[in-house]
Amino acid sequence: MEIQNSEKIFQDKVDEEIRIEPKDWMPEKYRQTLIRQISQHAHSEIVGMLPEGNWITRAPSLKRKAILLAKVQDEAGHGLYLYSSAETLGIGRNEMLNQLHTGKAKYSSIFNYPTITWADIGAIGWLVDGAAIMNQVPLCRASYGPYARAMVRICKEESFHQRQGFEILLVLSKGTEAQRRMCQDAINRWWWPSVMMFGPNDEASPHTAQSMKWKIKRFSNDELRQKFIDVCAEQVKILGMHLPDKDLKWNEERGHYDFGAIDWGEFWNVVNGNGPCNKERLEARVKAHEEGAWVREAATAHAEKRKAKANQAA
């Protein structure tokens, strides 16, 4: 009776677009869904630094190095905003890191693909960050306050990520024959994984209805995917390149682009740990955590020493 009443008050608030804050009553499943979604999102930001970090030292100019460094630093910041927002739901930072390192928690599968050429950095900015923005803008209105606020900050910063990526491809598209080939090749490899970033089709996404009722999600996977494809199909023309989908065609009646079948076999294969870089990415994270242990210990020891000194002086 008591819980039923609380559930009703909670849902009424959500329906009236009143944000839920950490100390408000919330259904346990709402809390768990958010912890899963936000921590998964945080892990994606952190793991997402790896494919790009790979190119910081090899970026073609000092300007590109500085830009890429700033972008990767932003991803670290985004991970931190999200981790602390998940922590307001009662999960500890260590626990989340532990879930990532043991493979219990997932991160976006897109980061399990390799960055083979410089053009990949452009394609990631344009397509991967473009898809992420498409997903994230509606999350700025998510019903959970701390998550929505983190997303506002993230979205403001993501815009530069996408633009710098498109600019990299634009420069390549006006370059030599070899550079144009490199540009098209990167688009070919990143297109379908980016389209898959929106997750399974609506009929195969059982939690969507509940997440939409709770206003964590505002649009379904397929709605956002369609929007993304419509936008990219136009943008690619400016590059003088094409998207690797022979079925991509404007549908006057629908007012949208039709597109080819998605290889969900590949999607689930990568989600389940068999993508080209799953093992490498996780190992890199674990190694960084292990090798950073002494820094964390030293900082703790230093803080304790300073505290002791201050106490002595007082």
Partner 1 sequence: MRLWQQQKLKTMKQDWPLWEIFIRSKQGLDHKHVGSLHAADAQMAIENARDVYTRRQEGVSIWVVESNHVHASNPDEAPSFYDPMNDKVYRHPTFYDLPDELKHM
Binding site for partner 1 (CB under 8 A): 21, 23-25, 70, 73-74, 77, 80-81, 84-85, 87, 92-94, 98, 101, 149-150, 153, 157, 286, 289-290, 293, 296-297, 299-300, 302-303, 306-307
Task: Give least dist CB 300 to partner 1, A.
Answer: 5
Q: How far is the CB of 306 from partner 1 (least distance, A)?
A: 6
Q: How far is the CB of 309 from partner 1 (least distance, A)?
A: 12
Contact (Cβ atoms closer than 8 angstroms) between residue 115 and residue 124: yes
Q: How far is the CB of 230 from partner 1 (least distance, A)?
A: 30
Rounded least distance, CB 22 to partner 1, Å = 9
What's the min distance (Å) between Cβ of 90 and partner 1?
A: 12
d(CA 6, CA 115): 49
Nearer to partner 1, 44 or 173 (CB): 44
- 92 or 114, CB closer to partner 1? 92
Phi, psi of 25 (to 5 degrees): -65, 140
CA-to-CA separations, 58 to 40, 110, 112, 121, 156, in angstroms, rounded: 29, 22, 20, 11, 27
| C-alpha 108: how far from chain center | 6
> With respect to partner 1, which residue has the nearer C-beta, 32 or 98?
98
Rounding to the nearest 10 degrees, give the CA dihedral for residues 65, 69, 72, 77: -160
Q: Decide if 233 contacts 126 (C-beta within 8 A).
A: no
Neighbour count for residue 60 (Cβ, 10 Å): 12
- CB nearer to partner 1: pick between 23 and 246: 23
CB of 289 to partner 1, least distance (A): 5
Nearer to partner 1 by Cβ, of 35 and 131: the residue is 35
* Residue 16 neighbours by CB distance under 10 Å: 7
Phi, psi for residue 137 in degrees, rounded to 5 = -60, -45
Which residue do the tokens 């999600």 mark? 217
Tell me how many helices (H) and strands (E) the chain has. 14, 2
Q: Which is nearer to partner 1, 256 or 289 (CB)?
A: 289
Name the minimum Å distance from CB 308 to partner 1: 12
Q: Per the structure block, which two tokens stand in for 48?
A: 């997402």
Report the C-alpha gap between 9 and 178 in whole angstroms. Answer: 62
> What type of residue is 47?
V
26 vs 277, beta carbon nearer partner 1: 26
CB atoms within 10 A of CB 252: 7
Q: Which is nearer to partner 1, 73 or 272 (CB)?
A: 73
User: Cα separation of 303 and 312, whole Å?
Assistant: 14
